Amino acid sequence: MPLTATAVRQALPKAKAYKLSDSHGLFLLVNPKGAKYWRYKYRYGGKEKTLALGVFPEVSLKDARVAHQEARAKLDKGLDPGQERRIEKLTRNLAAADSFEAVALEWFGRVMPDKSESYRVRTRRILEKDLFPVIGQRPVGAIKPPEMLAALRRIEARGANDIAHRAKQTAGQIFRYAVVTGRAERDPSADLKGALVPRNKKHHAAITDPAEVGRLMVAIDGFTGTPIVKTALQLSALLFQRPGEIRAMEWAEINWEQARWEIPAEKMKMRTPHVVPLCRQVLELLEELHLLTGRSRYVFPSARGASRCISENTVRIALRTMGYDKETMTAHGFRAMARTILDEVLGCRVDWIEHQLAHAVKDANGRAYNRTAHLEGRSQMMQQWADYLGQLRVQAEAGNVVNIRKA
């Protein structure tokens, strides 16, 4: 006699496990602790087998009968329901291993360790916030250009055009990794050229007029914040390296004997070592700051703990405190300030300036210069730059800035 829902619900545990049969091999197994399991007993290849169909009450009598019928249908086709289930499970596991998210995390673990922390965090945020929720569970080899475009359109919809382009670039790297590891045949993001809204052009405001530069140096000299932040401002102007490189400067990177700041490749945007000659004024500032932060790893340790450096907003906020808004001067603007004046006012060699900015500079044969190329000339240029900034500051204090134009 077939089971009823009431009989299943009222079945009580006994000292030993027992079965309540339904029909055609379907039965309810009740164990001594009261747990109730749906099972299907069948024969295949001359052997008796049992297939688990779920647990009551999560799987009702009706649901168990549907699963039972599906298993019988496979048996009627000459298939082993148990083996078919194992194949389906394996297929699902393989699909999960080849999902966009799984491949992306594998790629991230292999490619990202040698990247900067800020780049790793930014990339992880794009994956977790913008890509995984949309295409993360899709088989990486099955994603088509329209599907990829739809994911990027969601980012554009909130006005984040730059992030949409970064997400496309990141996805492209992941798809290409999937191709070389045999899990995709091509990169669908390659077909999206021109499909996105153009990037928002970044404008790093910079002061390039010598008179205004002089007044900026006066403002920095009179900065009333902490000595750490004040020195960061001063070195931003004197060394004109990227803001992230300035704030992450470490004492171990300072070569006092040769008066150099030797930045390792892993901290540079171009992933090549960089040498910054240190002029007299910079060495004096560092010697003074060393008394305060010399026991820390970083030259500019964070107020929240010496184990990390000041944040990327520190110099920016200091500039705002001094009265310079984002349309007038930025932390990155110190680079443009130096680039313009060294070339147009002081007449320094452009290749020396570009090399000092850590831009890619090649020789006449198209080969990249090594990190110590033109070091003597660059050292003289850096001293000339520091002296000129000092002159502008003195003249601004006196209200008389004179432009020294190149011949």
Domain coordinates in residue numbering, the chain: 5-97, 100-192, 210-398
Is omega for the bond preceding 57 within 30 degrees of 0, making it cis?
yes
In 98-242, which residue ranges form alpha helices assigned H by DSSP?
100-111, 117-126, 132-135, 145-157, 161-180, 210-221, 227-239
At 364 the pLDDT is 44
100-192, CATH topology level: DNA polymerase; domain 1 (1.10.150)
Question: Could you give the CA distance from residue 148 to residue 188 in angstroms, rounded to a whole number?
Answer: 7
Strands (DSSP E) contained in 288-330 are 301-302, 305-309
Please answer whether residues 250 and 297 qualify as being in contact, where contact means their C-beta atoms are separated by less than 8 angstroms: yes
Could you list the active site residues?
242, 269, 332, 335, 359, 369
Distances (CA, A) of 47 to 82, 130, 132, 373: 12, 51, 45, 80
Please answer whether residues 222 and 233 qualify as being in contact, where contact means their C-beta atoms are separated by less than 8 angstroms: no
Question: Could you give the CA distance from residue 343 to residue 373 in angstroms, rounded to a whole number?
Answer: 19
DSSP tally for the chain: helices H, then strands E: 16, 9
Query: Taking Cα atoms as reference points, which of 133, 111, 134, 135 lies closest to residue 123?
Result: 111
210-398, CATH topology level: hpI Integrase; Chain A (1.10.443)
At 266 the pLDDT is 84
At 68 the pLDDT is 95
At 159 the pLDDT is 81
5-97, CATH topology level: Double Stranded RNA Binding Domain (3.30.160)
Strands (DSSP E) contained in 266-384 are 274-277, 301-302, 305-309
Question: Could you give the CA distance from residue 145 to residue 160 in angstroms, rounded to a whole number?
Answer: 20
At 282 the pLDDT is 95
Which residues are CB-contacts of 54 (< 8 A; sequence separation ≥ 6)?
Answer: 37, 38, 63, 64, 67
Q: What is the reported pTM?
A: 0.53
At 369 the pLDDT is 46
Please answer whether residues 156 and 196 qualify as being in contact, where contact means their C-beta atoms are separated by less than 8 angstroms: yes
Profile the chain (407 residues) by mean pLDDT over runs of 10 residues.
90 93 93 94 90 93 94 90 81 71 91 78 91 93 94 88 90 93 90 84 79 93 94 95 92 95 83 90 96 94 88 92 90 92 89 85 48 81 95 86 45
